[in-house]
Structure 1
Protein backbone atom coordinates (compact mmCIF):
# COMPACT_ATOMS: atom_id res chain seq x y z
CA UNK A 1 0.00 0.00 0.00
CA UNK A 2 2.78 2.42 0.94
CA UNK A 3 4.62 1.67 -2.32
CA UNK A 4 1.43 2.34 -4.29
CA UNK A 5 1.06 5.70 -2.54
CA UNK A 6 4.68 6.56 -3.32
CA UNK A 7 4.18 5.76 -7.01
CA UNK A 8 0.97 7.80 -7.13
CA UNK A 9 2.55 10.90 -5.58
CA UNK A 10 5.65 10.48 -7.75
CA UNK A 11 3.43 10.55 -10.83
CA UNK A 12 1.66 13.68 -9.59
CA UNK A 13 4.98 15.43 -8.99
CA UNK A 14 6.30 14.34 -12.39
CA UNK A 15 3.18 15.79 -13.98
CA UNK A 16 3.83 19.15 -12.32
CA UNK A 17 7.43 19.02 -13.53
CA UNK A 18 6.49 17.85 -17.04
CA UNK A 19 8.13 20.84 -18.81
CA UNK A 20 11.48 19.94 -17.22
CA UNK A 21 11.07 16.27 -18.15
CA UNK A 22 10.31 17.34 -21.72
CA UNK A 23 13.36 19.60 -21.85
CA UNK A 24 15.44 16.73 -20.50
CA UNK A 25 14.11 14.39 -23.19
CA UNK A 26 15.08 16.96 -25.84
CA UNK A 27 18.59 17.27 -24.36
CA UNK A 28 18.08 20.92 -23.37
CA UNK A 29 17.69 20.74 -19.59
CA UNK A 30 21.07 19.31 -18.59
CA UNK A 31 23.28 21.99 -20.24
CA UNK A 32 20.88 24.73 -19.08
CA UNK A 33 20.91 23.30 -15.56
CA UNK A 34 24.70 23.06 -15.33
CA UNK A 35 25.41 26.46 -16.85
CA UNK A 36 22.59 28.67 -15.55
CA UNK A 37 19.99 27.14 -13.23
CA UNK A 38 22.09 25.13 -10.79
CA UNK A 39 24.79 27.79 -10.17
CA UNK A 40 21.98 30.33 -9.57
CA UNK A 41 20.09 27.94 -7.27
CA UNK A 42 23.23 26.94 -5.38
CA UNK A 43 24.13 30.57 -4.68
CA UNK A 44 20.70 31.18 -3.11
CA UNK A 45 20.55 27.84 -1.30
CA UNK A 46 24.12 28.10 0.01
CA UNK A 47 23.33 31.35 1.78
CA UNK A 48 20.60 29.60 3.78
CA UNK A 49 22.53 26.38 4.35
CA UNK A 50 25.62 28.30 5.51
CA UNK A 51 23.61 30.09 8.20
CA UNK A 52 22.08 26.84 9.40
CA UNK A 53 25.37 24.91 9.50
CA UNK A 54 27.90 27.57 10.52
CA UNK A 55 28.28 26.34 14.11
CA UNK A 56 28.49 22.74 12.94
CA UNK A 57 31.25 23.63 10.47
CA UNK A 58 33.17 25.67 13.02
CA UNK A 59 33.23 22.61 15.28
CA UNK A 60 33.99 20.22 12.41
CA UNK A 61 37.00 22.10 11.06
CA UNK A 62 38.39 23.11 14.46
CA UNK A 63 41.06 20.41 14.41
CA UNK A 64 42.12 20.75 10.75
CA UNK A 65 45.51 22.11 11.81
CA UNK A 66 46.19 18.87 13.69
CA UNK A 67 46.66 17.15 10.34
CA UNK A 68 49.56 19.28 9.15
CA UNK A 69 52.34 17.28 7.53
CA UNK A 70 55.65 16.80 9.39
CA UNK A 71 57.02 19.76 7.40
CA UNK A 72 54.40 22.02 8.96
CA UNK A 73 52.41 22.55 5.75
CA UNK A 74 48.69 21.89 5.48
CA UNK A 75 47.61 20.88 1.99
CA UNK A 76 43.86 20.61 1.45
CA UNK A 77 41.91 19.17 -1.46
CA UNK A 78 38.26 20.12 -1.73
CA UNK A 79 36.00 17.92 -3.84
CA UNK A 80 33.05 19.79 -5.31
CA UNK A 81 34.16 23.23 -4.17
CA UNK A 82 31.09 24.87 -5.68
CA UNK A 83 30.97 28.48 -4.47
CA UNK A 84 33.67 28.09 -1.80
CA UNK A 85 31.37 28.01 1.23
CA UNK A 86 34.04 26.32 3.36
CA UNK A 87 36.95 28.71 2.77
CA UNK A 88 36.19 30.83 5.83
CA UNK A 89 36.77 27.83 8.13
CA UNK A 90 40.22 26.87 6.84
CA UNK A 91 43.36 27.69 8.89
CA UNK A 92 45.48 30.65 7.76
CA UNK A 93 48.31 29.76 5.41
CA UNK A 94 46.93 26.40 4.27
CA UNK A 95 47.22 25.48 0.59
CA UNK A 96 43.98 24.56 -1.16
CA UNK A 97 43.38 22.72 -4.41
CA UNK A 98 39.79 23.20 -5.57
CA UNK A 99 37.96 20.70 -7.75
CA UNK A 100 34.49 20.62 -9.27
CA UNK A 101 32.91 18.72 -12.12
CA UNK A 102 31.04 21.89 -13.12
CA UNK A 103 33.33 24.69 -14.42
CA UNK A 104 30.48 27.21 -14.37
CA UNK A 105 31.04 28.01 -10.67
CA UNK A 106 34.39 29.70 -11.26
CA UNK A 107 33.07 33.28 -11.52
CA UNK A 108 31.30 33.17 -8.16
CA UNK A 109 34.16 31.14 -6.72
CA UNK A 110 36.62 33.92 -7.56
CA UNK A 111 34.58 36.37 -5.49
CA UNK A 112 34.73 34.05 -2.48
CA UNK A 113 38.47 33.61 -2.93
CA UNK A 114 38.96 37.37 -2.85
CA UNK A 115 37.09 37.52 0.46
CA UNK A 116 39.26 34.80 2.00
CA UNK A 117 42.84 35.89 1.46
CA UNK A 118 44.05 34.06 4.58
CA UNK A 119 44.51 30.87 2.53
CA UNK A 120 46.62 30.08 -0.52
CA UNK A 121 44.77 28.81 -3.59
CA UNK A 122 47.00 26.47 -5.58
CA UNK A 123 44.75 25.55 -8.52
CA UNK A 124 41.24 24.75 -9.76
CA UNK A 125 40.69 21.38 -11.43
CA UNK A 126 37.64 20.37 -13.43
CA UNK A 127 37.30 16.84 -12.10
CA UNK A 128 34.73 14.35 -10.83
CA UNK A 129 35.12 12.86 -7.37
CA UNK A 130 35.55 9.41 -8.86
CA UNK A 131 38.49 10.53 -11.03
CA UNK A 132 41.11 12.70 -9.35
CA UNK A 133 44.00 11.45 -11.49
CA UNK A 134 45.41 14.98 -11.70
CA UNK A 135 46.17 14.78 -7.97
CA UNK A 136 49.18 12.62 -7.03
CA UNK A 137 48.73 9.75 -4.59
CA UNK A 138 49.47 10.56 -0.95
CA UNK A 139 49.93 14.26 -1.70
CA UNK A 140 47.36 15.98 0.55
CA UNK A 141 46.88 16.21 4.30
CA UNK A 142 43.10 16.55 4.26
CA UNK A 143 40.23 16.17 1.81
CA UNK A 144 37.02 18.17 2.31
CA UNK A 145 33.68 17.21 0.80
CA UNK A 146 30.40 18.91 1.74
CA UNK A 147 27.05 18.35 -0.02
CA UNK A 148 28.78 16.47 -2.83
CA UNK A 149 28.48 12.72 -2.18
CA UNK A 150 24.74 13.01 -2.82
CA UNK A 151 25.42 13.66 -6.51
CA UNK A 152 28.57 11.74 -7.44
CA UNK A 153 27.93 8.78 -9.74
CA UNK A 154 29.69 6.33 -7.41
CA UNK A 155 30.21 7.01 -3.70
CA UNK A 156 32.55 4.06 -3.15
CA UNK A 157 34.75 5.02 -6.09
CA UNK A 158 34.94 8.58 -4.77
CA UNK A 159 36.00 7.38 -1.32
CA UNK A 160 38.61 5.14 -2.94
CA UNK A 161 40.07 8.22 -4.65
CA UNK A 162 39.99 10.12 -1.35
CA UNK A 163 42.03 7.38 0.30
CA UNK A 164 44.48 7.35 -2.63
CA UNK A 165 45.28 11.09 -2.56
CA UNK A 166 45.49 11.31 1.26
CA UNK A 167 48.85 10.77 2.90
CA UNK A 168 48.95 8.15 5.67
CA UNK A 169 47.36 9.70 8.75
CA UNK A 170 45.50 12.32 6.68
CA UNK A 171 41.80 13.04 7.19
CA UNK A 172 38.61 13.20 5.15
CA UNK A 173 36.07 15.79 6.35
CA UNK A 174 32.42 15.50 5.32
CA UNK A 175 29.02 17.08 5.78
CA UNK A 176 26.31 15.44 3.68
CA UNK A 177 22.53 15.20 3.58
CA UNK A 178 21.36 11.59 3.72
CA UNK A 179 18.33 9.33 3.80
CA UNK A 180 16.02 9.73 6.75
CA UNK A 181 15.05 6.87 9.06
CA UNK A 182 13.10 4.34 6.97
CA UNK A 183 10.18 4.32 9.39
CA UNK A 184 9.71 8.11 9.23
CA UNK A 185 7.46 10.33 7.16
CA UNK A 186 10.59 12.20 6.05
CA UNK A 187 11.82 9.09 4.29
CA UNK A 188 8.37 8.54 2.75
CA UNK A 189 8.52 12.00 1.17
CA UNK A 190 12.16 11.60 0.18
CA UNK A 191 11.14 8.56 -1.89
CA UNK A 192 8.41 10.59 -3.56
CA UNK A 193 10.62 13.57 -4.36
CA UNK A 194 13.64 11.49 -5.39
CA UNK A 195 13.23 11.03 -9.21
CA UNK A 196 12.15 14.61 -9.91
CA UNK A 197 14.56 16.11 -7.39
CA UNK A 198 17.46 14.23 -9.00
CA UNK A 199 16.52 15.54 -12.44
CA UNK A 200 15.97 19.14 -11.39
CA UNK A 201 18.99 19.46 -9.10
CA UNK A 202 21.75 18.05 -11.28
CA UNK A 203 21.84 14.45 -10.03
CA UNK A 204 21.30 15.08 -6.32
CA UNK A 205 20.06 11.85 -4.64
CA UNK A 206 17.86 12.05 -1.55
CA UNK A 207 17.98 8.48 -0.31
CA UNK A 208 21.68 7.64 -0.05
CA UNK A 209 22.86 6.08 3.21
CA UNK A 210 26.35 7.54 2.91
CA UNK A 211 27.33 6.65 6.47
CA UNK A 212 27.35 3.00 5.40
CA UNK A 213 29.81 3.73 2.58
CA UNK A 214 32.09 5.55 5.00
CA UNK A 215 31.95 2.76 7.58
CA UNK A 216 32.78 0.15 4.91
CA UNK A 217 35.66 2.12 3.36
CA UNK A 218 39.23 1.38 4.44
CA UNK A 219 39.63 4.26 6.90
CA UNK A 220 41.43 3.47 10.13
CA UNK A 221 38.98 5.60 12.13
CA UNK A 222 35.61 7.19 11.41
CA UNK A 223 34.07 9.84 13.65
CA UNK A 224 30.52 10.40 12.45
CA UNK A 225 27.42 12.06 13.86
CA UNK A 226 23.84 12.20 12.57
CA UNK A 227 22.31 15.68 12.81
CA UNK A 228 19.22 17.47 11.55
CA UNK A 229 19.64 20.78 9.71
CA UNK A 230 16.50 22.90 9.93
CA UNK A 231 15.61 23.51 6.31
CA UNK A 232 11.80 23.75 6.38
CA UNK A 233 9.85 22.39 3.42
CA UNK A 234 12.82 20.52 2.02
CA UNK A 235 13.52 16.76 2.04
CA UNK A 236 17.20 17.21 2.94
CA UNK A 237 17.10 17.86 6.68
CA UNK A 238 18.87 14.64 7.83
CA UNK A 239 22.69 15.08 7.61
CA UNK A 240 25.85 13.33 8.68
CA UNK A 241 28.95 15.22 9.77
CA UNK A 242 32.42 14.18 10.84
CA UNK A 243 35.84 13.09 9.64
CA UNK A 244 37.65 9.86 8.86
CA UNK A 245 41.37 9.17 9.21
CA UNK A 246 43.37 7.16 6.68
Structure 2
Protein backbone atom coordinates (compact mmCIF):
# COMPACT_ATOMS: atom_id res chain seq x y z
CA UNK A 1 0.00 0.00 0.00
CA UNK A 2 2.94 2.34 0.67
CA UNK A 3 4.07 2.52 -2.97
CA UNK A 4 0.54 3.09 -4.20
CA UNK A 5 -0.01 5.69 -1.49
CA UNK A 6 3.10 7.60 -2.48
CA UNK A 7 2.23 7.42 -6.17
CA UNK A 8 -1.28 8.75 -5.53
CA UNK A 9 0.15 11.49 -3.33
CA UNK A 10 2.45 12.61 -6.17
CA UNK A 11 -0.53 12.73 -8.54
CA UNK A 12 -2.45 14.93 -6.10
CA UNK A 13 0.55 17.23 -5.68
CA UNK A 14 0.61 17.69 -9.46
CA UNK A 15 -3.12 18.44 -9.47
CA UNK A 16 -2.71 21.16 -6.82
CA UNK A 17 0.20 22.90 -8.58
CA UNK A 18 -2.09 25.84 -9.48
CA UNK A 19 -2.85 26.26 -5.76
CA UNK A 20 0.87 26.25 -4.97
CA UNK A 21 1.28 29.02 -7.55
CA UNK A 22 -1.63 31.01 -6.13
CA UNK A 23 -0.03 30.84 -2.69
CA UNK A 24 3.40 31.74 -4.04
CA UNK A 25 2.15 34.99 -5.58
CA UNK A 26 0.22 35.95 -2.45
CA UNK A 27 -3.33 35.46 -3.73
CA UNK A 28 -4.14 32.77 -1.17
CA UNK A 29 -4.57 35.53 1.41
CA UNK A 30 -7.88 36.34 -0.27
CA UNK A 31 -9.21 32.93 0.79
CA UNK A 32 -8.56 33.84 4.43
CA UNK A 33 -11.28 36.48 4.04
CA UNK A 34 -13.71 33.85 2.75
CA UNK A 35 -12.75 31.07 5.18
CA UNK A 36 -14.64 32.51 8.21
CA UNK A 37 -17.87 32.37 6.19
CA UNK A 38 -17.21 28.72 5.27
CA UNK A 39 -16.20 27.79 8.82
CA UNK A 40 -19.27 29.46 10.27
CA UNK A 41 -21.51 27.15 8.25
CA UNK A 42 -19.40 24.09 9.06
CA UNK A 43 -19.30 24.92 12.78
CA UNK A 44 -23.09 24.79 13.03
CA UNK A 45 -23.17 21.29 11.52
CA UNK A 46 -20.20 20.14 13.63
CA UNK A 47 -21.86 21.30 16.85
CA UNK A 48 -25.06 19.45 16.02
CA UNK A 49 -23.23 16.16 15.55
CA UNK A 50 -20.77 16.65 18.42
CA UNK A 51 -23.09 18.40 20.88
CA UNK A 52 -23.05 15.59 23.45
CA UNK A 53 -19.27 15.17 23.26
CA UNK A 54 -18.67 18.90 23.73
CA UNK A 55 -21.19 19.16 26.54
CA UNK A 56 -19.58 16.21 28.35
CA UNK A 57 -16.09 17.64 27.90
CA UNK A 58 -16.87 21.16 29.10
CA UNK A 59 -18.88 20.00 32.11
CA UNK A 60 -15.51 19.70 33.87
CA UNK A 61 -14.61 23.37 33.38
CA UNK A 62 -15.90 24.61 36.78
CA UNK A 63 -13.57 22.15 38.54
CA UNK A 64 -10.67 24.44 37.59
CA UNK A 65 -12.15 27.64 38.94
CA UNK A 66 -10.26 29.25 41.82
CA UNK A 67 -12.27 29.11 45.09
CA UNK A 68 -14.51 32.17 45.22
CA UNK A 69 -13.11 33.49 41.94
CA UNK A 70 -14.28 33.95 38.36
CA UNK A 71 -13.22 31.26 35.87
CA UNK A 72 -10.84 32.81 33.34
CA UNK A 73 -10.69 30.94 30.03
CA UNK A 74 -8.60 31.55 26.92
CA UNK A 75 -9.60 29.92 23.66
CA UNK A 76 -6.91 29.36 21.04
CA UNK A 77 -8.25 29.72 17.51
CA UNK A 78 -11.71 30.73 18.68
CA UNK A 79 -12.94 31.09 15.09
CA UNK A 80 -16.65 31.91 15.03
CA UNK A 81 -17.22 31.29 18.74
CA UNK A 82 -18.78 27.86 18.28
CA UNK A 83 -17.79 26.79 21.80
CA UNK A 84 -19.29 29.73 23.68
CA UNK A 85 -22.62 28.03 24.40
CA UNK A 86 -20.83 25.28 26.35
CA UNK A 87 -18.95 27.57 28.75
CA UNK A 88 -20.32 28.08 32.29
CA UNK A 89 -22.25 31.22 33.24
CA UNK A 90 -20.06 34.13 34.34
CA UNK A 91 -16.94 32.69 32.71
CA UNK A 92 -14.45 35.38 31.66
CA UNK A 93 -13.35 34.66 28.07
CA UNK A 94 -10.26 35.77 26.15
CA UNK A 95 -10.42 34.97 22.43
CA UNK A 96 -7.40 34.50 20.18
CA UNK A 97 -7.20 33.75 16.47
CA UNK A 98 -4.62 34.56 13.77
CA UNK A 99 -7.37 35.49 11.31
CA UNK A 100 -8.80 38.97 12.06
CA UNK A 101 -11.71 38.38 9.67
CA UNK A 102 -13.51 36.30 12.30
CA UNK A 103 -14.35 39.46 14.25
CA UNK A 104 -17.90 39.95 12.90
CA UNK A 105 -18.81 36.30 13.56
CA UNK A 106 -17.39 36.54 17.07
CA UNK A 107 -19.44 39.65 17.76
CA UNK A 108 -22.57 37.81 16.66
CA UNK A 109 -21.75 34.76 18.83
CA UNK A 110 -21.05 36.99 21.83
CA UNK A 111 -24.47 38.58 21.45
CA UNK A 112 -26.12 35.16 21.46
CA UNK A 113 -24.14 34.02 24.53
CA UNK A 114 -24.51 36.87 26.99
CA UNK A 115 -24.07 34.50 29.94
CA UNK A 116 -20.31 35.01 29.46
CA UNK A 117 -18.01 37.96 30.12
CA UNK A 118 -15.81 38.74 27.11
CA UNK A 119 -12.51 40.40 27.91
CA UNK A 120 -10.84 40.80 24.52
CA UNK A 121 -10.12 39.38 21.07
CA UNK A 122 -6.40 39.07 20.37
CA UNK A 123 -5.16 38.51 16.81
CA UNK A 124 -2.38 36.02 17.52
CA UNK A 125 -1.20 32.58 16.47
CA UNK A 126 -1.19 29.74 18.96
CA UNK A 127 2.59 29.68 18.84
CA UNK A 128 2.97 33.29 19.95
CA UNK A 129 0.55 34.60 22.58
CA UNK A 130 3.08 36.96 24.13
CA UNK A 131 0.41 39.51 25.02
CA UNK A 132 -1.01 37.06 27.56
CA UNK A 133 0.84 36.93 30.88
CA UNK A 134 2.37 33.82 32.47
CA UNK A 135 0.18 31.84 34.91
CA UNK A 136 -2.79 34.13 34.18
CA UNK A 137 -5.68 31.87 33.13
CA UNK A 138 -7.50 28.91 34.66
CA UNK A 139 -8.32 27.11 31.43
CA UNK A 140 -7.08 27.06 27.84
CA UNK A 141 -9.33 25.54 25.17
CA UNK A 142 -8.41 24.21 21.73
CA UNK A 143 -10.93 22.55 19.43
CA UNK A 144 -9.99 21.65 15.84
CA UNK A 145 -6.98 23.96 16.06
CA UNK A 146 -3.84 21.89 16.70
CA UNK A 147 -4.21 20.37 13.23
CA UNK A 148 -3.64 23.75 11.59
CA UNK A 149 -0.97 25.50 13.68
CA UNK A 150 2.57 25.47 12.30
CA UNK A 151 3.96 23.99 15.52
CA UNK A 152 1.68 22.02 17.88
CA UNK A 153 4.58 21.61 20.32
CA UNK A 154 5.16 25.38 20.57
CA UNK A 155 1.43 26.05 20.85
CA UNK A 156 1.24 23.64 23.79
CA UNK A 157 4.25 25.30 25.38
CA UNK A 158 2.43 28.63 25.15
CA UNK A 159 -0.73 27.11 26.63
CA UNK A 160 1.32 25.64 29.49
CA UNK A 161 3.00 29.02 30.08
CA UNK A 162 -0.17 31.05 30.41
CA UNK A 163 -2.01 28.47 32.56
CA UNK A 164 -1.83 28.97 36.31
CA UNK A 165 -0.52 25.99 38.32
CA UNK A 166 -3.40 23.53 38.57
CA UNK A 167 -5.10 24.97 35.47
CA UNK A 168 -6.13 22.78 32.55
CA UNK A 169 -5.84 22.56 28.78
CA UNK A 170 -9.07 21.23 27.19
CA UNK A 171 -8.96 19.77 23.68
CA UNK A 172 -11.12 18.17 21.01
CA UNK A 173 -9.15 17.51 17.83
CA UNK A 174 -9.35 15.37 14.73
CA UNK A 175 -6.16 13.38 14.23
CA UNK A 176 -4.31 10.88 12.09
CA UNK A 177 -5.76 7.41 11.62
CA UNK A 178 -3.84 4.17 12.12
CA UNK A 179 -1.07 4.17 9.46
CA UNK A 180 -2.07 0.64 8.39
CA UNK A 181 -5.67 1.68 7.61
CA UNK A 182 -7.32 2.80 4.39
CA UNK A 183 -8.46 5.90 6.22
CA UNK A 184 -4.81 6.91 6.68
CA UNK A 185 -4.18 6.10 3.00
CA UNK A 186 -6.71 8.71 1.93
CA UNK A 187 -5.62 11.15 4.64
CA UNK A 188 -2.06 10.97 3.34
CA UNK A 189 -3.04 11.27 -0.31
CA UNK A 190 -5.48 14.15 0.21
CA UNK A 191 -3.20 16.18 2.52
CA UNK A 192 -2.26 18.92 0.01
CA UNK A 193 -5.84 19.61 -1.06
CA UNK A 194 -7.19 19.45 2.49
CA UNK A 195 -4.50 21.80 3.77
CA UNK A 196 -5.39 24.51 1.27
CA UNK A 197 -9.15 24.40 1.66
CA UNK A 198 -8.89 23.89 5.44
CA UNK A 199 -6.67 26.97 5.85
CA UNK A 200 -3.63 24.97 6.93
CA UNK A 201 -5.39 21.90 8.37
CA UNK A 202 -3.16 18.80 8.43
CA UNK A 203 -5.26 15.65 8.59
CA UNK A 204 -2.32 13.35 9.43
CA UNK A 205 -1.40 15.22 12.63
CA UNK A 206 -0.53 12.88 15.54
CA UNK A 207 -1.59 15.44 18.13
CA UNK A 208 -1.76 13.00 21.04
CA UNK A 209 2.04 12.55 20.86
CA UNK A 210 2.58 16.28 21.34
CA UNK A 211 0.20 16.28 24.32
CA UNK A 212 2.02 13.35 25.91
CA UNK A 213 5.34 15.19 25.75
CA UNK A 214 4.09 18.70 26.65
CA UNK A 215 5.03 18.53 30.33
CA UNK A 216 1.56 18.45 31.89
CA UNK A 217 1.25 16.75 35.28
CA UNK A 218 -1.90 14.85 34.26
CA UNK A 219 -3.34 13.89 30.90
CA UNK A 220 -6.84 12.50 30.40
CA UNK A 221 -7.11 11.59 26.72
CA UNK A 222 -9.50 9.38 24.76
CA UNK A 223 -9.49 8.35 21.10
CA UNK A 224 -12.99 8.42 19.63
CA UNK A 225 -14.68 8.01 16.25
CA UNK A 226 -16.70 11.09 15.31
CA UNK A 227 -19.80 10.87 13.04
CA UNK A 228 -18.22 12.51 10.00
CA UNK A 229 -16.69 11.63 6.64
CA UNK A 230 -14.15 8.86 7.21
CA UNK A 231 -11.00 10.98 6.75
CA UNK A 232 -11.86 13.08 9.82
CA UNK A 233 -13.53 10.39 11.94
CA UNK A 234 -10.50 9.85 14.22
CA UNK A 235 -10.64 12.35 17.10
CA UNK A 236 -9.06 12.80 20.50
CA UNK A 237 -10.82 14.44 23.45
CA UNK A 238 -9.87 15.28 27.01
CA UNK A 239 -7.86 17.66 29.14
CA UNK A 240 -4.37 18.06 30.57
CA UNK A 241 -3.56 19.62 33.96
CA UNK A 242 -0.54 21.86 34.52
TM over 0.5: yes
Aligned partners of 2:45, 2:17: CA distance in 1, in Å? 28
Report the equivalent of 2:88: 91
| Aligned partners of 2:16 and 2:192 also within 8 Å | no
Write the deviation string for residues 49-85 of structure 1: whole angstroms up to 9, x where unpaired.
1111110000000011111113421000000000001
Please give the alpha-carbon distance, in whole angstroms, between the structure 1 residues aligned to 2:117 and 2:196: 36
Q: Normalization by structure 1: what TM-score?
A: 0.94
- TM-score using structure 2 length: 0.95
Structure 1 residue 44 displacement after superposition: 1.9
The CA deviation string for residues 180-213 of structure 1, in whole angstroms up to 9 with x for no partner, is 0111110011000112211232111111111111
The correspondence of residues 1-246 of structure 1 with structure 2, limited to 5 A, is 2-29=1-28, 31-36=29-34, 38-232=35-229, 235-246=231-242
Distance in 1, Cα, partners of 2:197 & 2:54:
27
Q: Deviation digits for residues 133-165 of structure 1, max 9, x if unmatched?
A: 111101100001100000111111111111110
Q: Equivalents in 2 of 1:17, 1:156: separation in Å?
A: 28
Q: What's the CA shift for 1:26?
A: 2.6
2:12, 2:192 within 8 Å by CA — same for their partners in 1? no
Runs of 4+ in 1 over 6 A off after TM superposition: none
CA contact (8 A) 1:131 1:158 kept: yes
72-81 vs 8-17, which deviates more? 8-17
Runs of 5+ unmatched residues, structure 1? none
Deviation for aligned residue 1:25: 3.2
Structure 1 contact 20–200 (Cα < 8 Å) conserved? no
Larger mean CA deviation between 139-148 and 195-204 belongs to: 195-204
Q: What number of residue pairs does the alignment pair up?
A: 242
